Structure 1
């Protein structure tokens, strides 16, 4: 078959026409101007499809992280006297690459992060996404995905709350953290779980950060939002979410209710005692055993690696469940739950693809 006929035949069978133009570049200004930004509801709709496709084997992805030594940062920056300003906190100085594919698209997210950025008036992390056609692997768009990345992480809150065996409404939530992820958690809960929630207590490493977030959001949320300075009301919480940059656990196990459910989104924030108790008395889970284990930065993975084993090796034998594999966990009311989520690459693919499709639809109808 002549080459031009081969191309014609392939084109007729592709889901997309071969991409022959330069990829569109969408920064935050262009996303807003084009009306392509996703609402919280649209983010959740994209993620619903992502979870379905993950569980059905129609989507896959992996994550690689290059963590750089903090001592090297302080030395290279000539700031040897500054670490005291970050006591109790990880710099999280790292370069991450998340890549995934589904039936229609493929893509790569690159993240650069450093908590020191706040002293420079910069964001802690920035995400850039390259969206590609699946079949030709040609780039369609280069997108500033910083806001989308926070939104997809925050959406874990409503997903995991939906699994929690909490039978009563009027739920009390205790949220550790006051950054962009915390904001996304609150908007996710408002979108998907508002009728069930009575109040959210908010605690941050710096109390002024918590009060600032409360001031900016409380009037827009359908539940009470209260900033707190300590863990005294933690025992009231049905659902506890950790989303901080702390370098150590942010609570003690005896501060929790015995039936409290946990979502862990940060680093080493949850006591080993808590994880072991929940493993005995309730259910421990994560978004993906392999990904959480190999990242090895969160309490669940660290409790295994510190003893010379791994979450990936022992998790299946201990009955640790995965959001990427099972949708219905059949949990018993009144039992505790602890879920650790590292952030799956496929989720980014779906929200960026949804944004790009909305942009393309708006552009074509303009």
Structure 2
């Protein structure tokens, strides 16, 4: 019998699960490439993965026109399987799962990259990922100030109003000049800010796209920064922020560091340069977080 499991694990549990999997030897380079089928309303995505005691597959749809209809842009389901037998174990909501796992991965990277006293966070976007990234980054750094930058004034003010426990306000792209942390959580296809404004100590996470011709950060940001990706192969296929910078000559492929090496202490992070973590979202992340949610629901302490 397949369990239908609601929601996702708490953010701190998801962060711990991602970090633990990487420390235990999970290799993101082994993930099968994401399958993307273009259809008239958008895209259909298929993302399988296998690790340890579990296997799983996410089936998701991306429909850019849905928000105007009052529907989620991303929808789908996640089927978690027993690793040794591939027997179905649980069905989870892919939207809740994606929202938490993306931010959890960003938090693992930021925890290794950001200054210990990073307190001022600038967030681009007002969607679910923007909210999740505020929560996740607050879990690893003492965030006290929040600046929100987005296109819709009404939604931006509403977003800010939800964080009365922080010094929160509406801002502009120029506010990155005073940021300790920057989270890019948008559907933008062109850069959101001028990379020359970034202070040398700032950590940027960019999660908005998985297409080679879309980007949220400019060549200046990439050239100035220590650049960390989940996996080189995935970044070179899907991370427009990286692909376009490589194409222009802003950086070379040897400049890329990987998240596993960062977490395991094998990647150097010299001071005096901004740090950029570019995530495209990978199947192993869904699997690790789905497994954590399943185990929590069943009271599994193994």
TM-score range, shorter chain: 0.7 to 0.9
- Distance verdict in 2 for CA 1:302–1:189, change over 3 Å: same
Match of 2:287 among 349, 359, 363: 349
Matched, 1:109 2:109: no
1:110 to partner: Cα distance: 1.1
Q: Distance in 2 between matches of 1:286 and 1:237?
A: 21
Structure-1 residue corresponding to 2:9: 38
CA distance in 2, matches of 1:188, 1:259: 20
Which 4+ residue blocks in structure 1 deviate beyond 6 angstroms? Answer: none
* Structure 2 residues not aligned, in runs of 5+: 210-214
Instruction: Give the greater-gyration-radius structure (CA).
Output: 1
Q: CA deviation at 1:210?
A: 1.8
In the other structure, the counterpart of 2:70 is 121
Match of 1:89 in 2: none
Residue in structure 1 matched with residue 198 of structure 2 by the alignment: 256
Identify which of 288, 313, 323 aligns with 2:259: 323
Unaligned runs of 5+ in 1: 1-21, 74-92
Superimposed CA distance per residue, residues 288-329 of structure 1 (whole angstroms, 9 cap, x where no aligned partner)? 111121124x2112333x46x9x9xx52xx231000344223
Q: 1:227 aligns with which of 160, 170, 177?
A: 170
Question: Once superposed, what is the RMSD of the aligned Cα atoms?
Answer: 2.5
SS at match of 1:181: helix
1:241, 1:264 within 8 Å by CA — same for their partners in 2?
yes
Task: Count residues with an aligned counterpart.
Answer: 292
Instruction: Give the structure-1-normalised TM-score.
Output: 0.72
* Match runs of 1:195-344 below 5 Å: 196-216=142-162, 218-219=163-164, 221=165, 223-228=166-171, 230-267=172-209, 268-278=215-225, 283-296=226-239, 298-304=240-246, 306=247, 315=253, 318-327=254-263, 328=265, 329-344=267-282
CA contact under 8 A between 1:174 and 1:201: conserved in structure 2?
yes
SS in 1 for 2:268: coil
Q: Distance in 1 between matches of 2:152 and 2:195?
A: 22
Match of 1:49 among 20, 33, 56: 20
Distance apart, 1:258 and its partner CA: 4.0
SS in 2 for 1:347: helix
TM-score normalised by structure 2 residue count = 0.87
1:257 Cα shift?
2.5
